[in-house]
Amino acid sequence: MSRRRTVRFLAAACTAALAVALPVHAAADPAPPGLTVEQLRAAAASPETADAVEAMLDAARTPALFEAPPRNTPQPFMQPAPTFGPGCGGGIVPYAMTTGWAQPGPNTNPDVQIGQLKIFVSPTIPVAPTRADLTLVWLNMESFRGGIATLDDRIGGVPQLSKTLDTGTGPVLASLFGSVQYSNGAFCQVVFTMGGFFA
């Protein structure tokens, strides 16, 4: 093979190799779940949600150190949420404390994958909820991406006060607020509370 033909052959071979190799290297890793900080701020549709986003970002700047619990362990919110409304504490009691927790994956009942958290909120009275407007704002402390979700799971039309979130693995800050209405007419306003979890 002549020198000129060899050079042309090598150039063609290199071009073909690059054509095959470049798409592999050009494909970027998928972004972690959630929104960027700017997108999270833009997604806050109400003043309460915007306040929750800013509170989360403030907390993220000086995070408390906490250790990851054993895998697959339910994790409660740091503080129950004060809750107000006629009958929210049972009978005529207008005050209660709403508790919530997160179940990380992997788990089968409920079905939660690694990189997810299933958030649950307990009713404050032993009556079925008829309507819920509970908002959860979350921020993954490793990826610094987050989201805003409504806890809108339903079974047979009944609000379950829960939601599965794709947060990505690692420490997650979350804040909860909103309201729950019950079949006996009680309307309960859930005041902002915050939790720290590991997904």
Residues 85-96: tens digit of each pLDDT: 999 998 889 999
3-state DSSP of 133-157: EEEEEEEECCCCEEEEEECCCEECC
Tokens of 158: 């009944």
Range 138-150 average pLDDT: 94
Which residue has tokens 């054509």? Answer: 19
Whether 1 is in a domain gets the answer no
Domain count of the fold of the chain: 1
Whether 31 is in a domain gets the answer no
Is 70 exceeded by the pLDDT of residue 9? no
Whether 83 is in a domain gets the answer yes
Whether 6 is in a domain gets the answer no
User: Tell me, what DSSP letter sits at residue 92?
Assistant: T
Contact 140, 199 (CB under 8 A): yes
Whether 126 is in a domain gets the answer yes
Distance CA 58, CA 139 (A): 11
Band of residue 14 on the pLDDT scale cut at 50, 70, 90: very low
Range 51-78 average pLDDT: 78
Q: How many residues does the chain have?
A: 199
- Flag the least confident range among 65-69, 182-186, 195-199: 65-69
What integer pLDDT is reported at residue 39 of this predicted model?
A: 87
Contact 137, 50 (CB under 8 A): no
Band of residue 66 on the pLDDT scale cut at 50, 70, 90: low
Q: How many CB atoms lie within 10 A of CB 146?
A: 29
Whether 164 is in a domain gets the answer yes
Which residue has tokens 């970002």? Answer: 57
Instruction: Tell which residue, 107, 34, 33, has the closest CA to residue 74.
Output: 107
Distance CA 167, CA 160 (A): 20
The per-residue pLDDT for range 164-176, each reduced to its tens digit, is 999 999 999 999 9
Contact 104, 112 (CB under 8 A): yes
Distance CA 48, CA 96 (A): 21
Residue range(s) defining the domain that contains residue 107: 37-198
What percent helix, strand, coil does the chain show, rounded to 5? 25, 40, 40
For residue 52, the Cα-to-chain-centroid distance in whole angstroms is: 13
What integer pLDDT is reported at residue 65 of this predicted model?
A: 52
Whether 153 is in a domain gets the answer yes
Whether 8 is in a domain gets the answer no
